[in-house]
Structure 1
């Protein structure tokens, strides 16, 4: 059996807020909100992939911090791991696969229409960060 393809997602936090990104592609995901990120390439660590993906997708420099417990199925053959990340330089903007970004305060986390596959990951992020700045749902 082939190992699943690993996708990393970012719980990018800044000033007590979490960044959400609205998909513009592919068509079946367009309009849904997700944690930004992407596939880990051969020879990359998950942390390196996260930093690269956020640079490509959002035009920012970041630092991967800690892995959020859990692995989340996306579609057959793909799994998601989420890492907390710190914004080091730049202002996020939607460059690839997204048409909007929103910084969400703890009270706004569920105000966007998260993709169904991202909901368990967002819940795990809330629990992981509960002691730092987000209340558990």
Structure 2
């Protein structure tokens, strides 16, 4: 089956962003992929597959509860990107999240880091790099978005 014929798996991705007192966007949350998953140790935005009958927002709320132990407020659809990985073709539905409750718990053995540009953690999952570029464009950041 060619790349074009591979049907993408729908994935909900949470871009949790802190805001300052004036409402400006600040640091964002990255998590490492768990030891038992493909690309273990790579840094990404948290999220997961959209199950049958779920909306992207419902899937995101479920995934962040399962992965991080938090309850999220509204998910704001932001960008969509199709990525072809050797193991899967995925449609990444990125949603910004500004409100959440609960203490972060790394329920899948992953790590977390609050980041800004340029991102200091590495390696970064290929599907995360375009998001860093979108942040750079929005924020007028002209330097590198991540360390190689």
TM-score range normalised by the length of the shorter chain? 0.7 to 0.9
Q: Distance in 2 between matches of 1:74 and 1:21?
A: 21
Which one has the largest radius of gyration?
2
Which of 84, 95, 101 aligns to 2:96? It is 84
Quote the Cα distance in structure 2 between the aligned partners of 1:127 and 1:50. 24
Cross-structure match for 2:106: 94
> What is the CA RMSD across the aligned residues, in angstroms?
2.2
Say if 1:21 and 1:34, in contact at 8 Å, map to a contact too. yes
Unaligned runs of 5+ in 1: none
How big is each residue's C-alpha offset from its partner over 1:19-51, in whole Å with a ceiling of 9 and x where there is no partner?
110112335411210000000000000011111
Distance 1:58 1:121, change over 3 A: same
Partner residue of 1:11? 15
Rounded to whole Å, the distance in 2 between the matches of 1:41 and 1:20 is: 23
What's 1:136 paired with?
141
Alignment gaps of 5+ in structure 2: 20-25, 143-148
Q: How many residue pairs are counted as aligned between the two chains?
A: 129
SS in 2 for 1:68: strand
Length-normalised TM-score, structure 2:
0.74
* Secondary structure of 2:40 counterpart: coil
